Structure 1
Amino acid sequence: MPDAVTAPHFFCGEYTVDYDKAMGRGLDVVELTCRVLVSRADDRSGQRILDSLLAGSGPSSLKAAIEAARGAPGGYALGGLAHDLHVMRMQGYRWYEHNGTDYVGADLIVKIIGEG
């Protein structure tokens, strides 16, 4: 997690790894919890910015930007580092305190699969 945040700010925080989803270390599954924080200096403006970042598609969509790293159909994701990735869900749309400052934000859960 970053010490300082300049809103809007997107970062990866916690993650889990499920090992050995296929025999012989053939597949691991990683779930990243990524957070986006925007200024709450003006509540309505901040929520509009956050809503556009959390949209399922469009020019401001984090989901679309992240999934652009999937690569071409049949190809590997993340420049060949993983088999695939997918933004699974948004959760925790609420107020967050980070390093003494309040923000409006949410978490995006990203699933990455690849060789173990």
Structure 2
Amino acid sequence: MNISAVRAGIATNANAIQGLNCYGYVPDSISEPAFYAAEVDVNYDTSYGSLDELMVTCRVLVGRADDAASQALLDDYLSRGDRSLKAAIEADCTLGGACDDLRVQRVQGYRYYEHQNSKFIGAELVVQVIGTPEE
């Protein structure tokens, strides 16, 4: 698997949510609400050398102008409704051929985040990705 293609594919899928600014990398600055693929953990040879596994930690950040409204928007992104990040990311489980399969495994870290000296309310989504190693 090509890690850059996986990160870009996750952001492309998330971009189906109208009004959400999506990045396949950690951007220098963001326009909120924002979603981006951040840290990547790699487990090589998870199935007797035939598959690699990536655990991609993604962040979704919303503004803090109105704490209640901001948290309600964040909750929408984390729930299974019209703005569901889980549904958007899993809409194409192969990311256009960049991997064999994926699933949004969990949400964690619902809290305040600082990005480029600005504070946001946000959470992390951990996406499990499996695929054939690159030759």
Alignment TM-score, normalising by the size of structure 1: 0.90
Question: Corresponding residue for 1:13?
Answer: 38
Could you list the runs of 4 or more consecutive aligned residues of structure 1 that deviate by over 3 angstroms after TM superposition? none
- RMSD, aligned α-carbons: 0.8
Question: Corresponding residue for 1:107?
Answer: 124
Once residues 104 and 70 of structure 2 are traced to their aligned partners in structure 1, the CA distance between those partners, rounded to angstroms, is: 22
Question: Corresponding residue for 1:58?
Answer: 81
User: How big is each residue's C-alpha offset from its partner over 1:37-89, in whole Å with a ceiling of 9 and x where there is no partner?
Assistant: 0000110110010000011x22100000000012xxxxxx1122211100000
Once residues 81 and 69 of structure 2 are traced to their aligned partners in structure 1, the CA distance between those partners, rounded to angstroms, is: 18
Q: Give the unaligned 5+ runs of structure 1.
A: 71-76
Question: Corresponding residue for 2:103?
Answer: 86
Matched, 1:26 2:50: yes
Amino acid at match of 1:65: A
For these two proteins, the number of residue pairs brought into alignment is 108
SS at 2:28 equivalent: coil
Once residues 41 and 12 of structure 1 are traced to their aligned partners in structure 2, the CA distance between those partners, rounded to angstroms, is: 24
Structure 1 or 2: larger strand share?
1
- Cα deviation for residue 10 of structure 1 reads 0.1
Once residues 123 and 95 of structure 2 are traced to their aligned partners in structure 1, the CA distance between those partners, rounded to angstroms, is: 23
* Fraction of identical pairs, as percent: 49
* Largest Rg, 1 or 2: 1
SS at 2:122 equivalent: strand
SS at 1:21 equivalent: coil
Q: Give the unaligned 5+ runs of structure 2.
A: 1-25
Question: Corresponding residue for 1:74?
Answer: none
